[in-house]
Amino acid sequence: RLESVRVEAPRGQREFNVRFPDPPQSGSTVVTVSALCKGYGGPPVFEDIGFQLARRERLLVLGLNGAGKTSLLRILAGQTTADLGAIEYDARAHVGYFAQEHEQVRPDVTLLDNLRSEVAPGVQLTETELRGLLGMFGLSGDKVFQDAGTLSGGEKTKLALAMLMVGRNNVLLLDEPTNNLDAVSRDAVVRALTAWRGSIVLVSHDTDFVRALAPTKVLEMPGGTVDYYDDSWLDVVALA
């Protein structure tokens, strides 16, 4: 059961309290990236990108628009391939991907079936439990039987985050996960991800979220420089 996801709604303003399930155990290094290069028919968008991500480490990917941040996450998620280079995940890595444009949300499929399709092997969740999880994000009632392709941007974000929760992942690749969220839902998601004990690769221009998450390292795109994070990087985050 998904007992580690809950919601509290005190009287007055509705307040969400969401917690991601504890991640499964992984090795000390969850992924090693070596000499990645990607182009789209012209000069490379980026080249010679390399880093290691440790268990529970948080890597912030920074760069201006067009620097290849989303392309890098799509490669790490297996959604597209690099032109050169290699990615080696730990054998026990379970990777979840939040796409900025919600590509993981399937149109012509109900919210409930989108969520059900992401439930981790070996996890048994009833329809009531799945509907309860969607309800945490205000996706309740007959809406759970709605075509997910008809949702607003904010509703697709909420559904995609719910889909991550049932995946039992220990690595999350997050491309602007707080975009389109209302303030209450955004604050709940920020608290949940800050408290989560898995590994994260993050792209975000949300300075408050980045400050709360307190990344371990920064990867500058497109050059590929890896540096330690401190709050002086927030000025660059705001420009992303």
Strands 217-220 and 84-89: unpaired
CB 166 within 8 A of CB 133: yes
CA–CA dist 228, 165 (Å, integer): 28
Domain membership of residue 8 (yes or no) is no
In the chain, the percentage of residues whose pLDDT exceeds 70 is 93
CB 162 within 8 A of CB 133: yes
The domain of 66 spans: 29-239
CA–CA dist 174, 70 (Å, integer): 9
Q: What secondary structure does DSSP assign to 30-96, as a single string?
A: EEEEEEEEEESSSSEEEEEEEEEEETT-EEEEE--TTSSHHHHHHHHTTSS--SEEEEEE-TT--EE
Q: What pLDDT was estimated at residue 204?
A: 97
More confident position, 185 or 150: 150
- Give the model confidence (pLDDT) of 212-232 as tens digits: 999 999 999 999 999 999 999
Q: What pLDDT was estimated at residue 123?
A: 86
Domain membership of residue 9 (yes or no) is no
More confident position, 137 or 3: 137
C-alpha 26: how far from chain center: 18
The pTM (predicted TM-score) of the whole model is 0.91
Q: What pLDDT was estimated at residue 136?
A: 83
pLDDT, mean of residues 119-127: 89
Q: What pLDDT was estimated at residue 17?
A: 67
Domain membership of residue 142 (yes or no) is yes
Domain membership of residue 13 (yes or no) is no
Mean pLDDT is lowest, of 75-79, 135-139, 210-214, for 135-139
Mean pLDDT over the full length of the chain: 91
- Give the model confidence (pLDDT) of 26-68 as tens digits: 999 999 999 999 999 989 999 999 999 999 999 999 999 999 9
Domain count, the chain: 1
CB 98 within 8 A of CB 159: no
Domain membership of residue 15 (yes or no) is no
Domain membership of residue 215 (yes or no) is yes
CATH number at residue 60: 3.40.50.300
CA–CA dist 186, 125 (Å, integer): 25
Between the alpha carbon of residue 56 and those of residues 112, 172, 175, the distances in Å are: 30, 10, 18
CA–CA dist 63, 73 (Å, integer): 13
CB 46 within 8 A of CB 221: yes
CA–CA dist 8, 191 (Å, integer): 14
Domain membership of residue 12 (yes or no) is no
- Give the model confidence (pLDDT) of 3-34 as tens digits: 444 444 434 445 666 888 899 999 999 999 99
pLDDT at 78 over 80: yes
pLDDT at 97 over 70: yes
Domain membership of residue 10 (yes or no) is no
In the chain, the percentage of residues whose pLDDT exceeds 90 is 81
| Residues ≥6 apart with Cβ < 8 Å to 211 | 231, 234
pLDDT, mean of residues 60-85: 97
CB atoms within 10 A of CB 183: 7
